[in-house]
Amino acid sequence: MVRRSPGTTLTEMLVVLAVFSTLMVLILGFYIEGSRVTARQEHSSASYRRVLQVLDRVETLLAFSRVYHVQADQVVFSLLPAASPLALGFPDWGGQARTLAVKREPPALLMREDGTSRVFLELSAEDDVRFGWPSPGVLEVTVSSRPPLRPGQGVPRTVQATRKILLENDEDR
């Protein structure tokens, strides 16, 4: 009978290294895919937060307003006399009518009054804002955003949210 010296053979070491390498390749693959999914989810979450921020700002402004006219890209309104703009976080604009309009280049929501415009809220190039008036007393605001993705991150998903704002006035369009 042949006696072996203590230790491992080359064959045993090669088998152990092959199993270890296979496990490392699988673990690294899962890690890389997880990183891609996380990056994609972070872009979607940022878009969703941006959409909600735009909806909140527009709702805060228009919920205490009298709306006179609505088109897809603008709303003509005036603040109700009982609404305090300073309490809402806006400057005291008075009671005259003004227009909240969507500007495409560069993207922003503009506040227009007496022929002058100022930026109410800056938007990103991926954002889109639409207004609607489905029934008297209800203003519908739809905001969508398509996050940009780097090559290899898949197809970007459009994030869209609609908010219906109940208005204090029951006037027709």
In a domain, 3, yes or no: no
- Note the pLDDT of residue 173: 41
Task: Tell which residue, 168, 158, 171, has the closest CA to residue 82.
Answer: 168
Within a domain: residue 137?
Answer: yes
Per-residue pLDDT, 84: 60
Residues near 163 by beta carbon (within 8 Å), at least 6 away in sequence: 55, 58, 59, 140, 141
pLDDT at 172: 43
Tell me, yes or no, whether 119 lies in a domain. yes
Tell me the whole-structure pTM to 2 decimals.
0.70
Give the Cα separation of 92 and 74 in Å (integer).
21
- The reply to whether 2 falls in a domain is no
The answer to whether 140 touches 164, Cβ cutoff 8 Å, is yes
How many domains is the chain built from? 1
Range of the structural domain that residue 47 is part of = 10-166
Q: Classify burial at 150, counting beta carbons within 10 Å of its beta carbon; exposed 0-12, middle 13-18, buried 19 or more.
A: exposed
pLDDT of 90:
62
pLDDT of residue 95: 62
pLDDT at residue 21 in the model = 97
User: Is position 151 within any domain?
Assistant: yes
The verdict on residue 132 lying in a domain is: yes
Q: Which one, of 75, 94, 74, lies nearest residue 84 by Cα?
A: 94
Residue 98 Cα distances to 35, 59, 76, 135, 162, angstroms? 47, 16, 6, 21, 23
CA distances from 61 to 43, 77, 83, 101, 121 (A): 27, 10, 10, 13, 11
Residue 120: inside a domain, yes or no?
Answer: yes
Block mean pLDDT (10 aa), the chain, length 173: 80 95 96 88 86 90 84 86 61 72 89 85 89 88 81 73 80 44
Q: Is residue 17 part of a domain?
A: yes
In angstroms, the first-to-last Cα distance of the chain is 103
